[in-house]
């Protein structure tokens, strides 16, 4: 009987240790260091009011250790029915919460006209190298983008 009780206590102790340690592995917190680096985004955008999701978007976004978007190095290529165009990203900032939610905005310019793209919903994966996002332009919230973002 003593051996059986010892075995039970040992199994229960192991299970207890597993349940205590497992949440740390499963829900590791995100930090700004996870956001720093060069990110590549690919997705679609368009005007939801008009029912036209007819643009493909490819972006390179450089994020500093503070979450700032430097004045150079970031841009997007947008292809729609008129052809391929380039949007510069001269400023902006992103942040990530400990729960890995990504928020922020990017200043995007094309042909001298600029607008702010707001990240509405984004969630970084626990690998810290990918996230998906949904965002919109402040001047026209009906123009939205759905992007998959990968860190290189």
Domain boundaries, given as residue ranges, for the chain: 1-28, 32-151
Question: Residues 85-119: pLDDT tens digits?
Answer: 999 999 999 999 999 999 999 999 999 999 999 99
pTM value is 0.80
Q: Which two tokens stand for residue 113?
A: 């006209």
* Region 74-86 average pLDDT: 95
Cα end-to-end distance, the chain, whole Å: 58
Question: Residues 31-50: pLDDT tens digits?
Answer: 999 999 999 999 999 999 99
Angstrom distance (rounded) from CA 48 to CA 7: 62
Angstrom distance (rounded) from CA 70 to CA 74: 8
Angle at 14 between CA 8 and CA 16, to 5 degrees: 100
* Residue 28 confidence (pLDDT): 75
Angstrom distance (rounded) from CA 96 to CA 32: 6
β 130-137/140-151 pair status: antiparallel
Q: Which CATH class is domain 32-151?
A: mainly beta
């Amino acid at each position: 009987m003593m051996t059986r009780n010892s075995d039970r206590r040992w199994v229960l102790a192991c299970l207890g240790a597993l349940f205590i340690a497992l949440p740390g592995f499963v829900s590791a917190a995100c930090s700004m260091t996870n956001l720093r680096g060069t990110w590549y985004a690919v997705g679609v955008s368009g005007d939801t009011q008009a029912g036209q999701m007819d643009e493909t978007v490819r972006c390179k976004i450089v994020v500093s250790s503070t979450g700032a978007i430097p004045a150079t190095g970031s841009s997007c290529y947008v292809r729609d029915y008129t052809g391929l165009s380039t949007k510069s990203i001269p400023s902006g900032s992103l942040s990530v919460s400990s729960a890995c939610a990504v928020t922020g905005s990017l200043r995007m310019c094309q042909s001298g006209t600029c607008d702010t793209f707001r990240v509405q919903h984004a969630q970084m994966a626990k690998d810290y190298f990918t996230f998906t996002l949904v965002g919109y332009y402040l001047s026209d919230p009906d123009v939205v983008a759905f992007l998959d973002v990968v860190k290189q």
